[in-house]
Amino acid sequence: MKVSDFTIRSNTRLNDRNYLLKVTPAGNEPLPEMYPGQFVQIRVDNSPQVFLRRPISINYIDHQQNEIWLLIQRVGEGTAKISDLSAGETMNLLFPLGSSFSLPDQKGNFLLIGGGVGTAPLLFLGKKMREKGLEPEFLLGGRSEKDILQRDDFEHLGTLYCTTEDGSLGEKGFVTQHTILQKKRYDFIFTCGPKPMMVAVARYAKQNGISCEASLENLMACGFGACLCCIEKTIRGNVCACTEGPVFNINELTWLD
């Protein structure tokens, strides 16, 4: 873990409230090894309303460009200030933080299920799986077509299935209602998104005997295990989602109890 200033290379608005920031170390030092599921803590200065850093998952690492990609959903004042940053400006990051998704050792059927901005770490996971010769498939859900972010990037890495609540893209409904889940047998599911979606995915995985890991988005203060605010109740008791997670095997969680 370290704290460094980063320069914003580009800030692209993807839809009405999501922004893709590509950032590179201000001192041009090469990025350390980072793993899918890990996150950064972004410092937001000059606002009394925004005191704490904002945890944002790593969307993608472009080692050639020495860039971290961060997908920012404009929700409150903190993410608004971050998404207002322009190319050339700097931001301070605490990184890399947290645990990562397990990269399978053997070939199999892998489904990466994401909802909303929770799709962010799945792009990086898909890339790492590709690099290992694995074939990830993606199932992404959103309210409407515009909410399914980075479709081209996902399609570049593997087959992409979509669901939208209004039926404007892919099948109408929620991710857990997609027909691919009836048609195909998966060995491992990786998921990130709103908690109700992840709980539904976990339930599907458990009922069908499929291994499943979920990346949590608990509220946190520090991000490195000091404040004990972001705890998740597990079969081992309360643990920090920032250090023991954010990625958990669903068998460790108590969601389905």
Binding residue (CB under 8 A) for another protein from 233, 235, 249, 256: 233
Contacts of 118 (CB under 8 A, 6+ apart): 191, 192, 193, 194, 197, 198, 215, 217
Q: Are 222 and 214 contacting, i.e. CB atoms less than 8 angstroms apart? A: no
Which tokens is 59 given? 């969307």
50 makes contact with another protein (CB under 8 A): yes
228 makes contact with another protein (CB under 8 A): yes
Binding residue (CB under 8 A) for another protein from 51, 86, 207, 254: 51
**Identity of the residue, 2 or 183, whose beta carbon is nearer to another protein in the bound complex:** 2
53 makes contact with another protein (CB under 8 A): yes
Number of residues this chain uses to bind another protein (CB under 8 A): 29
75 makes contact with another protein (CB under 8 A): no
Binding residue (CB under 8 A) for another protein from 207, 237, 254, 257: 237
Stretch that binds another protein, among 1-9, 11-19, 28-36, 164-172 (CB under 8 A): 1-9
Residues numbered 206 to 225 that lie near another protein (CB under 8 A) are: 218-225
Stretch that binds another protein, among 45-53, 117-125, 131-139, 159-167 (CB under 8 A): 45-53
Which tokens is 216 given? 């949590």
Taking the complex as a whole, the smallest distance from the CB of residue 240 to another protein amounts, in Å, to: 10
Stretch that binds another protein, among 59-67, 137-145, 202-210, 229-237 (CB under 8 A): 229-237
**Identity of the residue, 43 or 130, whose beta carbon is nearer to another protein in the bound complex:** 43
Binding residue (CB under 8 A) for another protein from 26, 52, 80, 180: 52
Q: In whole angstroms, what is the distance from residue 73 CA to residue 146 CA?
A: 13
Taking the complex as a whole, the smallest distance from the CB of residue 224 to another protein amounts, in Å, to: 6
Q: Are 20 and 59 contacting, i.e. CB atoms less than 8 angstroms apart? A: yes
181 makes contact with another protein (CB under 8 A): no
128 makes contact with another protein (CB under 8 A): no
26 makes contact with another protein (CB under 8 A): no
Stretch that binds another protein, among 47-55, 59-67, 136-144, 191-199 (CB under 8 A): 47-55
Residue type, 92: N
Residue where the block lists tokens 């009405």: 16
Residues in touch with another protein (CB under 8 A) = 1-3, 43, 48-53, 94, 218-233, 237-238
